[in-house]
């Protein structure tokens, strides 16, 4: 599973503007595994071993298995972390972010958390990723 994540997976956290949240942003952590829909049966079998996410098919023929609940993400990472190579830094950063998120009490704490989220920018390639302008 760690090899699949390393090769055909993604770990990231997005900050989505949402005025209903205390500091105006919602943190959305995700782990996604990708596979061609040509391998649908095998991919579903693999994902059933994990059992904590959901599968969707994109318009371009790619299947995505998404894990986005905090407890499910932490459980999955616990099992793959010892064996992950390419995504090791993302795993460590995700664990740090999810741990810190619980201790956000004020704007300064929130800003520190946002800086950690922005650190994914340096670890993951993304054409669309936006860096949010926040002040402490």
Active site residues: 7-8
Say how many Å lie between the first and final Cα of the chain, rounded. 39
Q: Token pair of 4, please?
A: 């699949």
- The label of the residue with tokens 């090899």 reads 3
Q: Phi and psi of 123, rounded to 5°?
A: -95, -30
**What is the distance between the alpha carbons of residues 13 and 56, in angstroms, rounded to a whole number?**
19
């Amino acid at each position: 599973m760690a090899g699949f994540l390393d090769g055909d997976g993604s770990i990231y956290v997005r900050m989505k503007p949402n005025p209903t949240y205390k500091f105006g942003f919602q943190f959305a952590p995700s782990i996604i595994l990708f596979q061609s829909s040509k391998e649908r049966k095998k991919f579903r079998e693999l994902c059933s071993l994990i059992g904590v996410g959901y599968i969707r098919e994109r318009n371009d023929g790619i299947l995505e298995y998404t894990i986005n609940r905090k407890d499910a993400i932490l459980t999955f990472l616990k099992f793959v972390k010892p064996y992950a190579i390419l995504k090791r830094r993302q795993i460590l950063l995700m664990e740090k972010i999810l741990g810190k998120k619980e201790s956000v009490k004020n704007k300064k704490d929130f800003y520190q958390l946002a800086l950690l989220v922005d650190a994914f920018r340096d670890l993951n390639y993304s054409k669309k990723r936006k860096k949010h302008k926040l002040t402490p």
